[in-house]
Amino acid sequence: MHSEGACQSCRTRRIKCDERKPVCLRCIKAQRPCVEAGLAKQELFTIHSENNYANGKQKRPRGPRSSLVSLQPSFSLAARAQAYYVQNHFQVFPDIPDVATTWSECFHEWKAAGKSSPIVDLSFSSLALSVFARSQKSTSAAVEASTSYAQLLREMQRHMLRVRRVDVDADEIDAYLLTVYFMARYESYLKQHTEEAEPINSMKLWFHFDGAAAILKMWYNNRHRYIPTTIVKQSRRTLVKSSLLRGHEPCWLKDGDIFGEKGIALEFDHLTIQAIGLNLRCSRRYQESQRHSLDSSVLDALHQDARMLDKTIEDWSTQLPSKWAYRTHTLSGTHSFPEDEFFSGTVLSCTTHGFAAVWTEYFAIRMLIVNSRLRILSLSCGQLGEAFSQERSECIAQLNSFANSLASFVPSSLDRVRATAVSASDHSIAPVEFVDEPLKAYLANLVVWPLSLASSLQEVDPGQRQWFRSRLSWISSSSSECLIAYAMSDYWTVL
């Protein structure tokens, strides 16, 4: 988007531009459009056609100058698409905890460090053009997106051959991982409005996930040469989450410390890995039960592991900083609101979107663990007798509670509510009112994964699952974050 000089929107506000391509971080942070300085000058100034007067060939006429030519700005389509995409779909979340970091933070941090790459720019432009084409109904943008992406595929083939032959430095690895992420997002966005969903394991975007895994595996095998970056860490997180949907668990991805996880984030990462592993073990035991009866000791051990894991992650949540705590709200009775946007009359919120994102991830993982416990109980129901019914009832109550908590975070996470006056006598429960405004698409980054996970668990109450799916479908119609066809079908089912 930028020329080498500062963008005009920064200059006119006396703010120093960071002069980065393809986005000016200061303009984006200030939530204003950012365009090339040269193009902006065309818009701000009129050009005097006075060459004939200056060289003395013609006498300047008296009266108003009628020969002023007003030039309209001629921003390139790619520049307009990138500005639109960043502004509406790829915003950075201030002060977001490391537990909930998104790819937006990774990309902006990479640009802020002064790094650049032709393949990153090309992949980012392709995605931006694709989103812009759909939202603005621009055929020319769709054609340019397709052309740009075809060029990118050729470039990536050449680059990947180079990766296999020679050593690459850390900046190149980050560039490859960023590019692959944008390519996968491009592929998934193309599928958003298809009427039929192909089997999830056959989706084209997995080719890009496999490519990211190959690059990250190269980093892993030569990790003594590298320092973990935010992009490396986020790439691993993305691959770990995808392993849940694809039904495999790469052993080399298990240790988050190797990839740069620290502190609270490392603890949660460890618990997430265990939850995914537990789910996969349950799936294998279920498949075995279709062929022969299972040893009760195996099921007992599996159920004990699930119990301990659930207790451990509950203990983890009690150690979170107090400023991350959430508040309970009630919907104001004086304002109407669409019932489909609220699962109940209770809304949960935090002081920042980033803090809320930690809790939505937390409740989603707890739902996964309890769902696994219920599957284990169903396999051992004949061996537990009366204890089976009691424990199953307790697990169902837990699962419903976690699902309700997750659902109660969705309205505030998507800025669908606004706090009203707080009662002086009770500060623990504050009323909120519905905000009837278009969805801020970039907020989808924070809720798509928890909602995708929650809507895919078969032990969740059917009414709750349907609500999660309907929210995913609604979000996907306004964002570049998920697939409508998969949100509303059992293709997405984990168990």
Q: What is the CATH number of the domain that holds 41?
A: 4.10.240
> Is the bond leading into 199 cis (omega within 30 degrees of zero)?
no
Q: What is the pLDDT of residue 165?
A: 60
In a domain, 15, yes or no: yes
Nearest to 488 by CA among 472, 123, 477: 472
Q: How far apart are CA 18 and CA 407, in angstroms?
A: 39
Could you give the percent of the chain with pLDDT greater than 90? 44
Residues 120 and 226 in one domain: yes
In a domain, 64, yes or no: no
What is the C-alpha separation between 92 and 83, in angstroms, rounded? 14
Rounded to the nearest integer, the mean pLDDT of the chain is 79
pTM: predicted TM-score of the whole model, two decimal places: 0.81
Structural domain count, the chain: 3
Amino acid at residue number 218: M
Closest CA to 89 of 138, 130, 49: 130
Q: Are residues 139 and 40 in the same domain?
A: no
Express each pLDDT in 270-326 by its tens digit.
999 999 999 988 888 888 877 777 777 888 888 899 999 999 999 999 999 999 999
Q: Is residue 6 part of a domain?
A: yes
Q: Are residues 222 and 325 in the same domain?
A: no
Residue-wise pLDDT for 30-51, tens only, equals 544 454 443 333 333 223 334 4
What is the model's pLDDT at position 283?
85
Closest CA to 76 of 146, 125, 121, 17: 125
Together in a domain, 321 and 383: yes
- Domain end residue (candidates: 261, 292, 327): 261
Tens-place pLDDT, residues 218-237: 999 999 999 999 999 999 99
Which residue among 205, 231, 261 closes a domain? 261
Residue 185's pLDDT is what?
87
pLDDT for position 69 = 42
Q: Which residue, of 261, 282, 308, is where some domain finishes? A: 261
Kindly state whether residues 284 and 328 are assigned to the same domain: yes
Are 273 and 367 part of one and the same domain?
Answer: yes
- Tell me, yes or no, whether 66 lies in a domain: no
Tell me: do 218 and 359 sit in the same domain.
Answer: no
In this predicted structure, which of 138-152, 186-200, 268-282 has the lowest mean pLDDT? Answer: 186-200
In angstroms, the CA 429 to CA 446 distance is: 24
Which region among 10-19, 162-171, 251-260, 277-286 has the lowest average model confidence (pLDDT)? 10-19
Q: Helix 170-190 crosses helix 103-112 at what angle (to 10 degrees)?
A: 140
Query: Are the C-beta atoms of residues 215 and 177 closer than 8 Å to each other?
Result: yes
Shared domain for 309 and 393, answered yes or no, is yes
For 47-102, write each residue's pLDDT tens digit.
Answer: 333 444 444 555 555 555 444 444 444 578 999 999 999 999 999 998 899 999 99
Is residue 384 domain-resident?
A: yes
**173 and 215 Cβ atoms separated by less than 8 Å:** yes
**332 shares a domain with 301:** yes
List residues bridging with 329 in a β-sheet: 347, 430
Beta-carbon contacts of residue 222 (< 8 Å; ≥ 6 apart): 167
Angstrom distance (rounded) from CA 418 to CA 431 = 9
Mean pLDDT to the nearest integer, 327-346? 80
Spell out the SS3 assignment of the chain.
CCCCCCCHHHHCCCCCCCCCCCCCHHHHHCCCCCCCHHHHHHHHCCEECCHHHHCCCCCCCCCCCCCEECCCCCCCHHHHHHHHHHHHHCCCCCCCCHHHCCHHHHHHHHHHCCCCCHHHHHHHHHHHHHHHHHHHCCHHHHHHHHHHHHHHHHHHHHHHHHHHHCCCCHHHHHHHHHHHHHHHHHHHHHCCCCCCCCCHHHCCHHHHHHHHHHHHHHHHHCHHHCCCCHHHHHHHHHHHHHHHHHCCCCHHHCCHHHHCCCHHHHHHHHHHHHHHHHHHHHHHHHHHHCCCCCCHHHHHHHHHHHHHHHHHHHHHHCCCCHHHCCEEEEECCCCCCCHHHCCCCEEEECCCHHHHHHHHHHHHHHHHHHHHHHHHHHHCHHHHCHHHHHHHHHHHHHHHHHHHHHHHHHHHHCCCEEECCCCCCCCCEEEEEECCCCCCHHHHHHCHHHHHHHCCCCCCCHHHHHHHHHHHHHHHCCCCCCCHHHHCCHHHCCC
Q: How far is it, in rounded angstroms, from Cα 176 to Cα 117?
A: 9
Residues 127 and 268 in one domain: no
pLDDT at 110 over 60: yes
Could you give the CA distance from residue 432 to residue 241 in angstroms, rounded to a whole number? Answer: 33
- What residue numbers bound the domain in which 401 lies? 263-495
**pLDDT of residue 492 exceeding 70:** no
Tell whether 42 and 176 lie within a shared domain: no
Q: For residue 478, which of 450, 436, 444 has the smallest C-alpha distance? A: 444
333 located within any domain:
yes
- 248 and 272 both lie in a single domain: no
Position 330 in a domain: yes
Block residue for tokens 């000791």: 297
pLDDT tens-digit readout, 380-426: 765 555 566 788 889 999 999 999 999 999 999 999 988 775 544 44
What's the token pair of residue 207?
């080719």
Q: Is residue 67 part of a domain?
A: no
Q: What is the residue type of 326?
A: Y
